[in-house]
């Protein structure tokens, strides 16, 4: 039987009119810091629009297969959780379903491994339940401002253009995209900071991997990297602990280094070359450690993992000295004790590890753009020198900074984030600052 389904003939009209949206808070970037900011603001009853150029939420925490929360715990033999907020619910839920587990880290602390698909769904459900409006696949094309206030962003999507007016703006883009497109001052490191294409492997022998140890892999990498065309000589291969219910047959690999230039052609090349690097790495692992990797295959390749690119010029730049000296600021809003982890060389990483009682802090002024009243950055585009940022950009402090950004703009209302009652802010963030 023939079925006739009519289709209307249409022609694009040159109306030029963009679809308009209004919000109390516009969050640009749905990585873990933007998710934290959006959920905290929604909890405060604010109308939130969360924008991302990617096709789904989560930024690098999901798309780049980061796979491990670092910087949530203090150091030492029995480290305590130092960041709460969304971290509490997230850890509770993922651990309850067997999708996250603590791992004692060689870095003198506890890290939390998670299954990426579970975090993806946790984020999606949390955002959906919070009633946050989401705009995915939306690239920022322009930022409008009136003096020191940002007023609206213009977005290009495959379905047409959007204009979003808001009272406050969180730059959680990792690249300071809001500040940059508003024509505000930004910073870029003068040397490349290497990123990584992560991957997960299936079919590796976990017992043999545990018996082998990472040092043996690093040693062999140093001796043979050139032969296999490999760039990096260190990194990690993490297996979930024995008995882990989920992801128990998977290992997480972070052993490549890629350049992450701020241009579309360069980044596209990086994706292709980086994934070829992953394949060569697997060739090396199979050939050199057949007992562990003979049957291993790539289960998933991450999107390019970008560590550090462009940041805002804040009212204060956090420095390596501040980190080393554990400087506590009058406007402290986040803390962590994760090491300095600077990926400044193709072959390796500069690590500076801290003692059991060490804690360093992030001031609100490093999040607030020096030349704007309602623009607060969070995550990897806050103002910190490259070595200081290499510590505070891990996901624990990213969650804490996201919360701080949301509360700072909530307190600022239609006023300035430079002039809020810092005591009131710290009172709201007490769990992330005390004990």
Ligand X SMILES: Cc1cc2nc3c(=O)[nH]c(=O)nc-3n(C[C@H](O)[C@H](O)[C@H](O)COP(=O)(O)OP(=O)(O)OC[C@H]3O[C@@H](n4cnc5c(N)ncnc54)[C@H](O)[C@@H]3O)c2cc1C
Interface residues with ligand X (CB under 6 A)? 28-34, 51-54, 59-61, 64, 66, 68-71, 139-140, 172-175, 177, 195-196, 198, 254, 305-307, 379-380, 393-395, 398
Closest CA to 170 of 42, 73, 267: 42
Closest CA to 296 of 336, 246, 244, 239: 239
Distance between CA atoms of residues 215 and 229, nearest Å: 20
Degrees (nearest 5) of the Cα angle 92, 94, 100? 110
Q: Output 52 or 371, the one with its CB closest to ligand X.
A: 52
What is the nearest approach in angstroms of ligand X to the Cβ of residue 71? 6
Retrieve residue 68's tokens: 């491990």
What is the nearest approach in angstroms of ligand X to the Cβ of residue 176? 9
What is the nearest approach in angstroms of ligand X to the Cβ of residue 21? 14
What is the nearest approach in angstroms of ligand X to the Cβ of residue 59? 3
Residues 6+ apart with CB under 8 A from 195: 257, 258, 259, 260, 270, 274, 304, 305, 306, 307, 343
What is the nearest approach in angstroms of ligand X to the Cβ of residue 220? 22
What is the nearest approach in angstroms of ligand X to the Cβ of residue 13? 27
Q: Output 34 or 314, the one with its CB closest to ligand X.
A: 34
Q: Output 105 or 332, the one with its CB closest to ligand X.
A: 105
Q: Count CB-CB contacts under 10 A for residue 101.
A: 20
What is the nearest approach in angstroms of ligand X to the Cβ of residue 61? 5
What is the nearest approach in angstroms of ligand X to the Cβ of residue 366? 13
Q: Output 196 or 432, the one with its CB closest to ligand X.
A: 196
**Residues counted in the chain:** 435
Helix, strand, coil content of the chain in percent (nearest 5): 35, 25, 40
Q: Output 51 or 205, the one with its CB closest to ligand X.
A: 51
Q: Output 73 or 289, the one with its CB closest to ligand X.
A: 73
Q: Output 363 or 379, the one with its CB closest to ligand X.
A: 379
Q: Output 36 or 205, the one with its CB closest to ligand X.
A: 36
Q: Output 134 or 285, the one with its CB closest to ligand X.
A: 134
| Helices and strands of the chain, counted as H and E runs | 14, 20
- β-sheet bridge partners, residue 21: 164
Asked whether 152 and 10 are in contact (CB, 8 A), the reply is no
Closest CA to 171 of 383, 15, 341: 383
Phi and psi dihedrals of 199, rounded to 5? Answer: -150, 160
Residue 18 to residues 14, 22, 161, 341, 397, Cα–Cα distance (Å)? 11, 13, 5, 43, 36
DSSP state of 200: E
Buried b (16+ CB within 10 A) or exposed e, 112-121: bbbbbebbbb
Asked whether 282 and 218 are in contact (CB, 8 A), the reply is no
Q: Output 259 or 416, the one with its CB closest to ligand X.
A: 259
What is the nearest approach in angstroms of ligand X to the Cβ of residue 221? 17
What is the nearest approach in angstroms of ligand X to the Cβ of residue 304? 8
Q: DSSP assignment of 225-238, as one string?
A: HHHHT---S--EEE
């Amino acid at each position: 039987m023939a079925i006739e389904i009519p289709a209307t003939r249409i022609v694009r009209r040159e109306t030029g009119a963009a679809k308009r949206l209004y919000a109390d808070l516009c969050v640009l970037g749905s990585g873990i810091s933007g998710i934290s900011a959006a959920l905290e603001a929604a909890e405060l009853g604010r109308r939130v629009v969360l924008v991302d150029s990617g096709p789904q939420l989560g930024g690098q925490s999901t798309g780049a297969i980061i796979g491990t929360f670092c910087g949530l715990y203090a150091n030492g033999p029995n480290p305590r959780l130092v960041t709460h907020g969304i971290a509490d619910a997230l850890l509770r839920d993922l651990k309850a379903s067997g999708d996250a587990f603590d791992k004692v880290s060689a870095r003198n602390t506890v890290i939390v491994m998670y299954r990426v698909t579970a975090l993806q769904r946790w984020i999606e459900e949390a955002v959906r339940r919070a009633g946050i409006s989401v705009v995915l696949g939306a690239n920022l094309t322009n930022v409008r401002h009136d003096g020191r206030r940002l007023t609206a962003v213009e977005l290009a999507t495959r379905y047409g253009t959007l204009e979003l007016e808001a009272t406050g703006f969180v730059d959680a883009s990792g690249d300071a995209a809001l500040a940059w497109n508003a024509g505000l001052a930004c910073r870029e490191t003068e040397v490349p900071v290497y990123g990584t294409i992560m991957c997960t492997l299936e079919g590796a022998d976990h017992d043999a991997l545990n018996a082998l140890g990472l040092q043996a892999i690093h040693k062999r990498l140093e001796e043979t990297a050139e032969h296999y065309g490999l760039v990096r000589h260190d990194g990690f291969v993490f297996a979930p602990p024995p008995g882990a219910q989920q992801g128990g047959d998977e290992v997480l690999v972070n052993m490549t280094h890629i350049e992450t230039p701020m241009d579309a052609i360069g980044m596209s090349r990086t994706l292709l070359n980086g994934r070829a690097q992953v394949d060569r790495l697997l060739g090396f692992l199979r050939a050199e450690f057949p007992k562990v990797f003979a049957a291993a295959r790539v289960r998933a390749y991450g999107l390019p993992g970008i560590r550090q690119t462009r940041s805002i010029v804040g009212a204060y730049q956090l420095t390596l000295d501040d980190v080393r000296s554990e400087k506590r600021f009058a406007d402290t809003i986040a803390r962590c004790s994760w090491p300095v982890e600077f990926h400044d060389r193709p072959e390796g990483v500069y690590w500076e590890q801290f003692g059991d009682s060490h804690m360093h802090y992030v001031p609100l002024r490093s999040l607030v753009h020096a030349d704007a009243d309602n623009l607060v950055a969070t995550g990897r585009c806050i103002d910190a020198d490259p070595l200081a940022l290499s510590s505070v950009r891990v996901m624990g402090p990213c969650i804490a900074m996201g919360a701080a950004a949301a509360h700072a703009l909530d307190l600022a209302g239609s006023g300035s984030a430079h002039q809020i009652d810092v005591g009131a802010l710290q009172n709201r963030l007490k769990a992330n600052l005390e004990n």
